[in-house]
A and B are shown apart, each in its own frame.
Chain A
Amino acid sequence: MKRKDILSTMDSIDDTFIHEIFIENEKNSTILPEKPTLKRYFPMIAAACAACIIFCLQLKETDQKKPQKPKQEYTDTIKEEDNKNTIQIGTKEVTYYSVEQPEIIPCDYRGAEGGGSIGGWLTVDKDTDFSTCNPTLNKVNEIQELPVFKNDPSVCQVINTKTFTELEDAMQQYFTKPEYIQNTSNKYYAYDGIDYDEDWIYCQIDPNKNLTEQLLEYTFQNFQYYDYHLELSEKNNKKDTPHIPDVSFYKITQAPEEEGMIYPLISLEQAEKKLREGKFLTYGTSEKDVAESAEILSVVLEYRLDNYQKYIQPFYKFIITDKSWTMEGMNKKYRKNKLSISEIYIPAIKDEYIEYTENAKLYVN
């Protein structure tokens, strides 16, 4: 096809697709949501309240027929001092309770569907050891329950970086106990195999705390820095020159404001069974095809901090690969030393306490 035909094809794209970019630009959109204001959301809150009342009335009617389900209010559950746990994360004190019957919470997922199936979602070096700061690596069986927290836009923030000084300042202000800082880095290659992105994860974990508390520290005292300077520096033959390009950004997480509730978790064996049945959440489409044969490279318990999650809840995160993922399409020269992998997420909370949103149902079914 000639260039002018290609341009003409792209020019005839549906008007609505072109317009949605205008709408997004106008909102100055990033993935971060705007802080909600009560006034703006009043109609939605009113509608939600009405829906809740109708739902509760229906539930009351059906309650007599169905077996009892947990129905306590998330924040109104019995909070006895005996059930209280408190942990200091950064400058915040985080409290969470264990209750007899926690409320059912929604589980959402908006990873992107479509786009073909040519292998795993990410490309890494073959010798990657998948080490992580996450303290649950190889220890997921030691945890049978974990707290869940209401999400809040301040929990996870993404900030564009302009200079190294800005980055260093942010790091210094962020960690209250530098002696407990742990860090790890990962390299991800693009499918052209030529360049890669690198991210660093820094977190503050006190090894004297129990595993649950360490996981909470890892989650809520976490500083991630995404950087592409190596690729650009190499291209410019200035490997030693510190350089921050305009695509660097960092992500910081802070402890949630509200108290959490403890939920029971499914076991690793149950999670693996779900993996093999293809009942999982993932970014790509090729993972379902290899559910039975995939090789599991690592597994951790990890809280997803997507802004669309109403509750910050734990997932089993499996890193998998498959023999059929041959990275067709990548230059052979680069393919030799690379491995195609994917991340699989399985909600860790027991099924009876979560309800999949319509978005998530598309993935787990």
Chain B
Amino acid sequence: MTDTEIVDLYWERSEQAIEETRKKYGNLLNYTAENILHSWQDTEECVADTYLAAWNAMPQERPVYLSAFLTRITKNLALKKLEYLTAAKRNRQFEETMEEMESLFSDTNIEKEIELKEITEHLNSFLKTCSNLHRKIFIRRYYYFETINSISKRYHIKKGTIKSILFRMRKQLKQDLKKEGF
């Protein structure tokens, strides 16, 4: 079923919408939540909450890419859950990814929301200039929070090479942002 057909079902308030979403995007949402939570039980809960959130959000919104719309919900729910779960204990995998991202934006000062939007535009332009493989590695790591090990296994590329690719991309992006005055 196409995204438009699924969105139509949401708009018609048909419960089949959730079943079709689960069929098409269930794996992607599990992947998204699991990368952050590293617990099957928490992932299941988070994905179930995503369907509910999508159900509530949909009449107002008509997303073009359901994958992006749904994963954003899942990510936000997973991050909130993680914050609650890790109040006492840090999640090492998540912290590693965040530290890498913080190193990228360490010198960047944001004063207005409009600047945040400009940075996102630069980031998107930068990613467009990268090779497909590099871009996918970057998105898997920093959007989907996939571990280096898992990316390495997925593409059959040495772990060190994955780290080097990410390091170079962060460095280049940081330089570009600096040039633009961020």
Interface residues of A (CB under 8 A from B): 1-3, 5-22, 24-26, 29-32, 110, 112-118, 121-123, 158, 160, 188-192, 195-197, 199, 226, 228, 245-247, 249, 251, 284, 329
Contacts and interface: CB of A to CB of B under 8 A. Distances in A.
Given A10-B101, A249-B153, A329-B167, A190 B159 contact: yes
A172 B117 CA distance: 57
B110 A1 contact: yes
A6 B105 contact: yes
Contacts of B22: none
Nearest to B146: A21
Contact of B116 (A9, A20, A31, A114): A9
Contacts of A190: 159-160, 163-164, 167
A8 B108 CA distance: 14
Interface string B137-154: 001101110000110111
Contact of A114 (B71, B117, B120, B131): B131
B43 to A, nearest CB: 15
Contact of B102 (A3, A160, A189, A247): A3
B58 interface: no
A116 B169 contact: yes
21 contacts: A9-B116, A9-B120, A13-B143, A14-B124, A15-B67, A20-B139, A21-B143, A22-B67, A31-B156, A110-B131, A115-B168, A122-B160, A122-B161, A158-B156, A190-B159, A190-B164, A191-B160, A199-B158, A228-B152, A247-B149, A247-B150
A249 B142 contact: no
Given A1-B105, A30-B154, A116-B168, A10 B142 contact: yes
A114 B159 CA distance: 19
A142 B128 CA distance: 44
B159 A6 contact: no
Contacts of A6: 98, 101-102, 105
B48 interface: no
Nearest to A20: B136
B134 A114 contact: yes
Closest 7 pairs between A and B when the two form their complex, measured CB to CB: A116-B172, A15-B68, A190-B163, A112-B131, A190-B160, A115-B168, A22-B67
